[in-house]
């Protein structure tokens, strides 16, 4: 069973050693960078280890300032890909936004050339928006 755990002393090393299998390093931020960025914006950001039965299998950083709920970075370690952890972790993250913030919309930036990620998020119900910033298109899902 997967769960999201805030980054802490116990899971920090495992998180910073996560390797992405994304073919282009421009598509995904480094985990260390994401943790540092979340620290800078700690009043409106958090980072989570994706934990499965005591083992870190991935990482998520989120932003929730100004009623703008975003998944900023989402990585499943390359040795754990293809097992459904990404879909399950994404649903846990969306549920977190809805439960903690009563979010009506969740957004995430995806590089315009990262068709694999776009397909992944579309399977979860996200749709492309017209918002593009620095070669990243924002995909969004809405809730009532």
Q: In this predicted structure, what is the pLDDT of residue 124?
A: 97
What is the pTM for the complete model shown?
0.92
pLDDT digits 0-9 by tens, 13-42: 999 999 887 665 678 889 999 999 999 999
Residues 6+ apart with CB under 8 A from 81: 21
Give me the domains of the chain, ranges plus CATH numbers.
2-142 (3.40.630.30)
Q: In this predicted structure, what is the pLDDT of residue 23?
A: 61
Angle, in degrees to the nearest 10, between helices 115-123 and 85-101:
60
Using DSSP, state whether 117 is helix, strand or coil.
helix
Which among 32, 27, 39 has a CA at the least distance from the CA of 17? 32
* H or E element that contains 124: none
**What is the average per-residue pLDDT within 118-131?**
97
Rounded (to 5) percent helix, strand, coil in the chain: 35, 35, 30
pLDDT digits 0-9 by tens, 70-112: 999 999 999 999 999 999 999 999 999 999 999 999 999 999 9
């Amino acid at each position: 069973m997967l769960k999201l755990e805030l980054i802490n002393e116990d899971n920090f090393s495992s998180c910073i050693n996560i390797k992405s299998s994304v073919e282009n390093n421009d598509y995904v931020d480094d985990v260390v960078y994401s943790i540092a960025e979340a620290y800078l914006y700690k009043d409106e950001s958090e980072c989570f280890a994706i934990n499965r039965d005591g083992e870190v299998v991935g990482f998520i950083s989120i932003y929730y300032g100004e009623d703008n709920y975003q998944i900023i970075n989402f990585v499943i370690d390359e040795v754990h890909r293809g097992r459904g952890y990404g879909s399950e972790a994404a649903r846990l993250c969306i549920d977190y936004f809805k439960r903690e913030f009563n979010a009506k919309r969740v957004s995430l930036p995806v590089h315009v050339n990262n068709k694999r990620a776009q397909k992944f998020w579309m399977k979860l119900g996200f749709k492309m928006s017209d918002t593009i910033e620095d070669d990243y298109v924002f995909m969004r899902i809405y809730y009532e």
